[in-house]
Amino acid sequence: MQSATQLDPSESQPDQQLRSRILVVDDVSTNRSVLVSLLARPECEVLEAADGTRALETIMNTPLDLVILDILMPGLSGLEVLDRIRRTFSSSELPILMLSVKDDINDVVKALESGANDYVTRPFDYTILTTRINALISYKQTQDSIREAHSKLESRIAERTNELVRANRALQTEVSERKQAEEQVRLSHKRFRTLYNDTPSMFFSLGSDGLIVSANQFGADYLGQTVDDMVGKRIADLHLEEDRALILRKIKDCLDEPYVVHRWDACMLHSDGSKVWVRTAARVMSDDLGNSDSILMVCEDITEAYTLSEQLKYQAKHDALTGLVNRYEFERRLKELLIDSRKNHTRHALLYMDLDHFKVINDTCGHDAGDELLRQLGHVLRGRTASTDTLARLGGDEFAVLLWNRDLDEATAAAHDLHRVINEFRFVWRDARFGISVSIGVVEIEHSTEDIAALLSAADTACYSAKEEGPKHVHVYQPDDKEVIRRYQEMGWIAKIDKALEEKRFELFYQRIIPINTAEHESGDHYELLLRMRDENGRIVRPAAFLPAAERYKYATKLDRWVVEFAFQWLVRIPRLLDRLSMCSINLSGHSISGNDFLYYLLDQIEKTSIPPAKLCFELTETATITNLVGATELINELRSRGCRFALDDFGTGLSSFEYLKNLPVDFIKIDGQFISNIAEDPVNYTMVKSINDIAKIMAKETIAEFVDSEAALSTLREIGIDYAQGNIIAEPKPLSNLLIRE
């Protein structure tokens, strides 16, 4: 017959209703109300507590069958409340069911390790929730029944013993009564043995030497042995070999502190060799004469909870895609190496690896191909890494290796070995084969190294230097090399950019663009907007000083948004400028065109301001466009479909200009100024510009010459047939506010 305290009333006996008392602890009243309504049953009394302090007061003053405890609460967290409860109540004396959300993996692990019986995650599955609550209440009441049975049995035995003493004084008159008492004792003993053997926990009685004096039948069956086989064995021999020293130490602790209940987790062995993880409670038991030489040990199976805990611990430390150590665990181990270097003056090394052009495979073959490449590459790298070293995937296409006890020369050799292995690796996806290259930065870890942040910054600097030196390079970090100094200077610009944005010290200049090869001047203004920053003394800072840092540290998009918003608002506020505007050119960085976020931002700004898209021309550098070819093409096509126009800036500086040009739907080609400045005197530059112009005409694209600074250059450009010119000979850059004055 099932207990009447089960939450399903259809399964309980109406004539034996026993109320179970449950405490719901959650700082959110809505959550408590949901649980109270779910648990509302005639046979179930539900108490509420809005915080950990009130919960502890209720627990200490009210008998409970179960506590349902939220992990995340202000003040005392669920984990702190759990810890305080377990100082007083064992898991059998007061079961605890933890509430969490699905992402709280680390907190769930801590809760199980701290003594929680079980957990559920939000949103709740009612069937699972009620099943787990029923199981925990049933478990609690079973344990209560055992304790009550023990207590009643001891009381009964004492009572019967007194009766036997009295019976002995009056044998002649109380013979029948004595026989009846003996029979009751026999039946009680039988019931006790039945309860002892069938209770779903493993019971062991030990001598002070750790030998098993007795064991219950359930424990013997659970470990695949017989009671007779277990009696006389050392309890430690039933455990995993690495846990045996722990068991012997715990037996000694029990004897040294006989009035304390000692608890621990360990692994026992089934007769078939399988592992059974158990949570053990043990204490010294005294006989009727007060002799304390027997230890009672009760073991409960926690294998499922332990396995889940280990899985969660593994997932918290490893990358789900490659199975390699993740960034969190990598930084923890890096900290250990740093501590070891400072303490023992040892030398270690960090290799920081960044795949070159991984995005090309992702964009051309899809993310499934990119994921498979990372998995295969992780397997290859694992085969070339020593067991004492740590191989990690830090995210995206970045990997790292921690080399234990390697000096800089050894680390450099290891980096070149990994470099060779990756370069020789060929990734096959369907019918395509891809070669992979990598840039590797090498940093030594020694006692004077500042901290983890400095190490990672140095590693990133070295890796970036390797990438700038050309693909397939290894760069060893040196604190005094020029690249390091340049990088730190760039980092200083980031703070200056932030401060300038905060203090509104950025402004826009404009420079006119005019047609040079037509008898008619196009109506309206055509100019390019140029970003300028003023320093704290009001002096102009040119973009060449701060834009490289902005590009490197992904601040360029923030500046692009500022330019777009400022320019659009300026034109909207002054309608006459917008009316006479033929075309306004705005530069966009490579970071802005690499994703959809900036595209949506531009569309939103155009819609909000109602600026005619045909008056807008966005300039993209050739290098940035080719690097982000897929994203750039999507952005260009979407905005051109709305009426915007596009110019390919700095054309001629890339390595694959003509190959990619035929696939880019741009309207203008801006020829880089390095070919324009001395075009009248340099036949090579003349030929280059003429070739670009001829190809542009075949593709129905117009050309713009930049940095035109002399009449001779302007005349030569007219001769070649260039459509537009821009430079100081035509008009120098001026503050945007000057547009208010007719020139």
495, with CB counted inside 10 A (0-12, 13-18, 19+), is exposed
pLDDT of residue 662: 72
**482-502 helix and 556-573 helix, angle to the nearest 10 degrees:** 30
Q: Are 113 and 309 in contact (CB under 8 A)?
A: yes
The string of pLDDT tens digits covering residues 633-656 is 889 999 999 999 999 888 876 544
pLDDT of residue 723: 93
In angstroms, the CA 621 to CA 586 distance is: 12
In angstroms, the CA 429 to CA 368 distance is: 10
pLDDT of residue 17: 45
Q: Answer yes or no: is pLDDT of 91 > 90.
A: no
pLDDT of residue 25: 93
Q: Which residue has the higher pLDDT, 512 or 145?
A: 512
- Residues forming beta bridges with residue 300, ordered by sequence position: 279
In angstroms, the CA 167 to CA 179 distance is: 10
Stretch 605-624: mean pLDDT, rounded?
90
Q: Which residue has the higher pLDDT, 625 or 176?
A: 625
pLDDT of residue 456: 85
Type of residue at 576 = R
Percent residues over pLDDT 70 in the chain? 87
Percent residues over pLDDT 90 in the chain? 31
In angstroms, the CA 34 to CA 39 distance is: 9
pLDDT of residue 743: 43
pLDDT of residue 360: 72
In angstroms, the CA 280 to CA 302 distance is: 10
In angstroms, the CA 414 to CA 442 distance is: 10
In angstroms, the CA 331 to CA 341 distance is: 15
Element (DSSP H or E) covering residue 141: helix 126-169
Q: Answer yes or no: is pLDDT of 416 > 50.
A: yes
**358-365 helix and 367-383 helix, angle to the nearest 10 degrees:** 140
The string of pLDDT tens digits covering residues 1-51 is 333 334 444 443 433 445 789 999 999 888 888 888 888 888 888 999 999
Q: 24 in helix, strand or coil? A: strand
pLDDT of residue 601: 93
In angstroms, the CA 146 to CA 148 distance is: 5
Q: Are 74 and 27 in contact (CB under 8 A)?
A: yes
The residue among 69, 81, 72, 75 whose CA lies nearest residue 102 is 72
Residue in the block written with tokens 């495979």? 361
pLDDT of residue 722: 94
pLDDT of residue 5: 36
Q: Are 724 and 676 in contact (CB under 8 A)?
A: no
Average pLDDT value for the chain: 84
pLDDT of residue 562: 94
pLDDT band at residue 511 using 50, 70 and 90 as cut-offs: very high
**Most distant pair of Cα atoms in the chain: their distance:** 144
Q: Which residue has the higher pLDDT, 43 or 504?
A: 504
The string of pLDDT tens digits covering residues 543-584 is 888 888 788 777 888 999 999 999 999 999 988 888 889 999
pLDDT of residue 8: 47
pLDDT of residue 9: 40
| Strand positions, DSSP E, 596-659 | 616-621, 645-651
Q: What is the CA radius of gyration of the chain?
A: 39
663 Cβ partners below 8 Å, 6+ apart? 633
In angstroms, the CA 458 to CA 443 distance is: 7
The string of pLDDT tens digits covering residues 67-79 is 999 888 888 888 8
- Please count the CA atoms within 13 angstroms of the CA of 663 that sit on its side-chain side: 12
Element (DSSP H or E) covering residue 297: strand 294-301
Stretch 471-491: mean pLDDT, rounded?
70
In angstroms, the CA 664 to CA 633 distance is: 7
In angstroms, the CA 401 to CA 308 distance is: 29
538 Cβ partners below 8 Å, 6+ apart? none
Type of residue at 428 = V
Q: 506 in helix, strand or coil? A: strand
Type of residue at 187 = L
Q: Answer yes or no: is pLDDT of 668 > 70.
A: yes
**Could you tell me the end-to-end alpha-carbon distance of the chain, in angstroms, rounded to an integer?**
99
- Other beta carbons within 10 angstroms of residue 496's beta carbon come to 17
The verdict on whether omega for the bond into residue 613 sits within 30 degrees of 0, i.e. cis, is no
Which pTM was predicted? 0.46
pLDDT of residue 655: 44
In angstroms, the CA 581 to CA 485 distance is: 44
Helices (H), 512-595: 543-552, 556-573, 575-579
Q: Are 241 and 261 in contact (CB under 8 A)?
A: no
| Strand positions, DSSP E, 293-424 | 294-301, 348-356, 390-395, 398-403
Q: 368 in helix, strand or coil? A: helix
